[in-house]
Amino acid sequence: MTVTGRGPDRAPSDEREERGVTAPVIGVLALQGDVREHVAALAGAGADARPVRRPAELDVVDGLVIPGGESTTISKLADIFEMREPIDKRIAGGMPVYGSCAGMIMLAAEVLDGRPDQRGFAGIDMTVRRNAFGRQVDSFEAPVEIAGVEGEPFHAIFIRAPWVERVGAGVEVLGRVTEGPAAGRIVAVRQGHLVATSFHPELTGDLRLHRYFVDLVRAAA
């Protein structure tokens, strides 16, 4: 292989373009939840994926995934591991973040049915309701179409999932439940560099959402 264009006259933007075709470094917040599944899905989608639990590990990532799990626990551990302020700062600086399920709750400006002491990151202008689909239905599956993702609807798995009850003017609705008693409920959103879904694409082997996020990180880098 011949590499051309190297030399002292190369502009910094050329370097950046070249880096753009290499794998972006994407962290998965590894305080609690299904970290391994997201690392595997991100790697499958072309990222250099790694768990992130310390501020120094956060410093070197181009993007972050907040996994499913338990938002009250993630909130508590974010304080204990002193990750709250560093994550808020990176979000303010434009770092792309994708939150799935508990991760969506951690990205919501307002949470209904939360614990009074749980706190999210400086995230998406939306209100989510925890465990919204009802106590009887602990988990269920439904097709969801995502704007900007081609092909079949997602086979979405919801596990004690939140839904979105309000979105601000700057928030784009990416997907809603299309069938059953919860039809019409908002379950995927995006606000600029922040993306959130109520469901768990990392559990189905369908990498389209992770690819969507990897592309977003690449574009932002």
Q: Respond yes or no: is residue 150 known to be catalytic.
A: no
Q: Does 119 bind ligand GLN (CB under 6 A)?
A: no
Q: Does 130 bind ligand GLN (CB under 6 A)?
A: yes
E strands, 56-138, where?
A: 63-66, 97-100, 108-112, 124-129
Site size toward ligand GLN (CB under 6 A) is 11
CA 100 vs CA 12, 33, 83, 108: distances in Å: 35, 10, 18, 11
Q: Which of 37, 64, 71, 213 binds ligand GLN (CB under 6 A)?
A: 71
Q: Respond yes or no: is residue 152 known to be catalytic.
A: no
Are 44 and 23 in contact, with CB atoms under 8 Å apart? no
In whole angstroms, what is the distance from residue 143 CA to residue 127 CA? 23
Who contacts 33 (Cβ-Cβ below 8 Å, separation ≥6)?
A: 67, 68, 69, 70, 74, 102, 103
Is the CB of 24 or the CB of 72 nearer to ligand GLN? 72
Interacting span for ligand GLN (CB under 6 A) from 8-16, 97-105, 146-154, 213-221: 97-105
Structure tokens at 111: 């949470």
Structure tokens at 6: 């190297």
**What is the nearest approach in angstroms of ligand GLN to the Cβ of residue 131?**
5
Q: For 51, phi and psi rounded to 5 degrees?
A: -70, 145
Q: Which of 160, 166, 193, 208 binds ligand GLN (CB under 6 A)?
A: 160
Check 17, 38, 85, 101 and give the catalytic one.
101
Q: Does 101 bind ligand GLN (CB under 6 A)?
A: yes
Q: Does 68 bind ligand GLN (CB under 6 A)?
A: yes
Q: Does 209 bind ligand GLN (CB under 6 A)?
A: no
Q: Does 75 bind ligand GLN (CB under 6 A)?
A: no
Residue 221: Cβ within 10 Å count = 15
Are 190 and 171 in contact, with CB atoms under 8 Å apart? yes
The amino acid occupying position 47 is: A
Q: What is the dihedral of CA 105, 193, 65, 199, to 10 degrees?
A: 50
Check 37, 38, 202, 210 and give the catalytic one.
202
Q: Respond yes or no: is residue 202 known to be catalytic.
A: yes
Is the CB of 70 or the CB of 165 nearer to ligand GLN? 70
Interacting span for ligand GLN (CB under 6 A) from 49-57, 62-70, 120-128, 183-191: 62-70
Q: Which of 70, 110, 206, 215 binds ligand GLN (CB under 6 A)?
A: 70
- Bridging pattern class, strands 139-144 and 154-159: antiparallel
The residues of the shown chain that bind ligand GLN, judged by CB under 6 A, are 68-71, 101-102, 105, 130-131, 159-160
Catalytic residues: 101, 200, 202
